[in-house]
């Protein structure tokens, strides 16, 4: 086992290389620029790794798609306004079931906002574009997970052929920490091989592939989407991931995702030390959402606390998934601001003393 002291962005690049990524496209934007820089450095050393710094995020998204059509494991990284522009390409990837992989470092919004941190790109990443949100989104909590889920994202994308995202933020990307770097085979993780969409040497002689995103008739498009949705639903049980931390005997269950879940975990530990029965439910896949497990986690509880660095994007997602559970819901929401374990502890204590306000 090899432990390295790495910045989050560097961990992501090492994970991508371990997953067999061959090409990155991108346009610099804080807090994901270092992903590009580390990749560019690796590509300068290894001619098998390709790199394209494009003129903007639309170009980065579509150049990634071009490379994927050629059968190359390509990825990109972006944030905030860059993520907005890239929805153009992700929408096409959704339409054509292309295995795009994108690392989204959430920063404050709307607009240029702030440059390091938020949890405000949940809606955009899970449901952006003019489509149905047939995307797979992992929300990581920093450190080791950036390596693990970088590997997983490429495998998921190329196995199931839905656009796949790893949702991080500037705290995660910029923090330096100790990470275990391993080869996927050491952990019995099999790497899924890419296959080209165009100029595929395996295809039957004399046949040609025509891929389009425009349909003529309403029903023609509907049939395609219904079929995609069916596949998405079928594979959902294989993809769903969540972390259940002491919810079984908990009276109050905290709902948090990403790095906020790491703060919530500290809060749970501290509260448990005081004998307070608190648990944490953390969806790792935000899309698809671990609905059944979330419902189980909230059933017969005294209350739920939903906390996030946004004004309710995660809250809406949780509520729609646990409906019609009638457990009282409390919230701690801070747009584009980090949430400290102490704040969560305070909020939980308020709820226990029945001073907390219902959301």
Partner 1 sequence: MPETALPKSWNKESKPHKFCPGCGQALALKILGQAIDELDIQKKMIYATDIGCSLLSWSMFNVDTIQTHHGRTLPLSVGFKKAKPEAIVVSFTGDGGGYAIGAQHLLNTAMRNDPITVILINNANYAMTGGQLAPTTLLNQKTTTAPKGRELAQGKPFKGPEMLAQITSEDAHIARGISTNYQQLLEMYKKAISNQIEGRGFSFVEVIAMCPVNWHTDAQQSLDFAEIEMAKIYPIGELKCPQK
Partner 2 sequence: MPTKIILAGEGGQGVQTVAKIIAVTAQRSGKNSSYLPAFGVEQRGGVSLAYLQISSKPITYPRFAKADMVVAFCDRAIPAIKDFLSKDTLFIYDNSVIKNKSLEKIKNLINNYLAMPALALAKEKLSSKVANVVLLGGIIAHLKEIDYQEFEKTLLEEFADKIIKKPEIKDLNLGALKAGIEIAEKFNKEETPFSGIEATEIKTNFSKEKISWQRFPEYCKGCGLCIVRCPTKALQFSRDSGFLGNPMPIVTIEKCIGCGNCMQICPDGAIKVEKST
Give the closest residue to 90 by CA, choosing from 53, 69, 65, 73.
65
Q: Determine the interface stretch with partner 1 among 132-140, 158-166, 204-212, 334-342 (rule: CB under 8 A).
A: 204-212
Binding at 89: pick from partner 1, partner 2, none (beta carbon under 5-8 Å per type):
partner 1
Q: How far apart are CA 132 and CA 231, in angstroms?
A: 13
- Among partner 2, partner 1, none, residue 21 binds (CB under 5-8 Å by kind): none
CB-CB contact of 336 with 114 (8 Å): yes
Of 70 and 225, CB closest to partner 2: 225
- Please provide residue 285's backbone torsions phi and psi, each rounded to the nearest 5 degrees: -90, 115
Binding to partner 2 (CB under 8 A) within 198-227 occurs at 214, 216-217
For residue 213, state whether it binds partner 1 (rule: CB under 8 A). yes
Least Cβ distance, residue 73 to partner 1 (angstroms): 10
User: Footprint of partner 1 on residues 162-201 (CB under 8 A)?
Assistant: 196-199
Residue 78 within binding range of partner 1, rule CB under 8 A:
no
Distance in Å, CB of 38 to partner 1, minimum = 19
Binding of partner 1 by 221 (CB under 8 A): no
**Half-sphere exposure at residue 144, Cβ-oriented, CA atoms within 13 angstroms:** 8
Q: Residue from 4, 56, 132, 292 that binds partner 1 (CB under 8 A)?
A: 56
User: Are 79 and 112 in contact, with CB atoms under 8 Å apart?
Assistant: no
Q: Which residue has the tokens 């949705």?
A: 229
Phi and psi torsions of 186, nearest 5°: -60, -30
Choose the binding region for partner 1 from 20-28, 147-155, 287-295, 319-327 (rule: CB under 8 A): 20-28
CB of 165 to partner 1, least distance (A): 19
273 interacts with partner 2 by CB under 8 A? no
* DSSP letters spanning 63-106: HHHHHHHTT--EEEEE-HHHHHHHHHHHHHHHHHT---EEEEEE
d(CA 327, CA 252): 10
Q: Number of C-alpha atoms within 13 angstroms, CB side, residue 214?
A: 1
Q: To the nearest whole angstrom, how small is the minimum distance from the Cβ of residue 212 to partner 1?
A: 4
The answer to whether 224 contacts partner 1 (rule: CB under 8 A) is no
CA 241 to CA 239: how far, in whole Å? Answer: 6
Query: CB under 5 to 8 A by kind: which of partner 2, partner 1, none does 248 bind?
Result: none
Q: Which helix (H) or strand (E) holds 14?
A: helix 8-18
Residue 67 found at the interface with partner 1 (CB under 8 A): yes
Q: Are strands 176-181 and 2-7 parallel, antiparallel or unpaired?
A: antiparallel
Could you tell me which residues come within 8 angstroms of residue 349 by beta carbon, excluding any fewer than 6 positions away?
Answer: 271, 276
22 binds, among partner 2, partner 1, none (CB under 5 to 8 A by kind): partner 1
Q: Which does 63 bind (CB under 5 to 8 A by kind): partner 2, partner 1, none?
A: partner 1
Handedness of CA 165, 170, 176, 177 (dihedral sign): negative
Q: Which of 21, 63, 137, 179 binds partner 1 (CB under 8 A)?
A: 63
Q: Does 65 bind partner 1 (CB under 8 A)?
A: yes
Strands (E), 107-149: 136-139
87 binds partner 1 (CB under 8 A): no
Name the site residues for partner 2 (rule: CB under 8 A).
Answer: 214, 216-217
Name the site residues for partner 1 (rule: CB under 8 A).
Answer: 22-23, 25, 50, 52, 54-56, 58-72, 74, 88-89, 91-92, 196-199, 208-214
């Amino acid at each position: 086992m090899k432990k390295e002291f790495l910045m989050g962005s560097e961990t992501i690049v090492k994970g991508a290389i371990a997953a067999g990524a061959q090409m990155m496209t991108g346009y610099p934007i804080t807090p994901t620029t270092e992903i590009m820089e580390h990749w560019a450095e690796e590509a300068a050393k290894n001619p098998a790794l390709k790199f394209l710094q494009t003129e903007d995020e639309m170009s980065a998204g579509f150049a990634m798609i071009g490379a994927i059509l050629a059968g190359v494991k390509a990825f990109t990284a972006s944030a905030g306004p860059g993520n907005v522009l890239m929805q153009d390409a992700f929408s096409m990837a959704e339409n054509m079931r292309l295995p795009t992989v994108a690392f989204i470092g959430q920063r404050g919004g709307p607009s240029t906002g702030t440059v390091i941190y938020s949890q405000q790109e949940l809606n955009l990443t899970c449901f952006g574009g003019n489509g149905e949100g047939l995307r797979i989104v992992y929300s990581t909590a920093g450190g080791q997970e950036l390596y693990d889920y970088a590997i997983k994202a490429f495998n998921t994308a190329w196995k199931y052929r839905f656009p796949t995202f790893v949702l991080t933020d500037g705290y995660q990307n910029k923090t330096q920490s100790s990470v275990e770097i391993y080869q996927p085979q050491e952990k019995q993780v099999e790497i899924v091989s890419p296959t080209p969409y165009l100029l595929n040497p395996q295809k039957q002689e004399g046949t040609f592939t025509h891929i389009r995103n425009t349909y003529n008739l309403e029903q023609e498009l509907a049939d395609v989407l219904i079929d995609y949705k069916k596949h998405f639903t079928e594979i959902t049980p294989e993809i769903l991931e969540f972390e259940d931390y002491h919810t079984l005997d908990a009276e109050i269950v905290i709902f948090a995702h990403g790095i906020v879940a790491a703060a919530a975990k500290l809060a749970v530990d501290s509260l448990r030390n005081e004998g307070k029965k608190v648990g944490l439910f953390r969806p790792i896949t935000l899309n698809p959402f671990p609905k059944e497990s979330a419902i189980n986690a909230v059933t017969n509880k005294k209350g739920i606390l939903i906390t996030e660095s946004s004004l309710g994007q995660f809250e809406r997602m949780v509520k729609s998934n646990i409906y019609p559970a009638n457990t009282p819901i409390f919230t701690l929401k801070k747009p584009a601001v980090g949430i400290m374990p102490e704040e969560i502890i305070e909020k939980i204590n308020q709820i226990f003393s029945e001073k907390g306000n219902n959301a």
